[in-house]
Amino acid sequence: MSSLRTLREATVLEHMEAENAHDFPRCIAAFSHPRYEIVATGEVWDGTSGVNTLLNENKKGFPNFHFQPEVMHHADDSVIVEGRFTGTHDGNWRGLPATGRKVDFPLIIVFQFEEERMVCERTYFDIGTPLRQLGVARDPNSRGGKIATALNHPLVVGKALIRSMVH
């Protein structure tokens, strides 16, 4: 393994270990410039203050949150980690009062690097999965999900039904 690859992997492992320990100053220190991009929500948390806010919001909502890395891949300018996010929703999270429910969903994180410097953590996950696990969203293929979709979006569903009958 090249020395650059070894250094990047060590940086990512240190960062993830610190985040799981909820040691946010150490977690943020792994970056040369802290930046999180949450693809599922379109959010960008830039700089020490922004990233610290995001991490503390996650801890407030899921005080026992943990990311379990499962597989690590290396690319030219990034380290990609596949894993699972778990936690119990015991606090307010993004305006949603605590439900006491557990979440467990897959997540892919792309840690971007400029040479040996980590410059961004970009996360990819299906936002519907944790929302369904928290009880605030429904599987659109379930009976309840179909009813909720029809009630919440009658014009869209109506147009889709008409289109399906015409074709």
What does the H/E/C string look like for 96-118?
ECCCCCEEEEEEEEEEEEECCEE
Q: What is the torsional sign of CA 123, 120, 28, 73?
A: positive
C-alpha 3/C-alpha 68 separation (Å) is 25
Structural domains present in the chain = 3-134 (3.10.450.50), 137-167 (no CATH)
pTM beyond 0.85: the answer is no
Residue 163 pLDDT grade (very low, low, confident, very high; cuts 50, 70, 90): confident
Residue 38 in this model has a pLDDT that exceeds 80:
yes
What is the pairing mode between strands 35-38 and 117-124? parallel
Structure tokens given for 45: 């948390």
Q: What is the pLDDT of residue 136?
A: 85
How do residues 110-138 score in pLDDT, each as one tens digit? 999 999 999 999 999 999 999 999 988 76
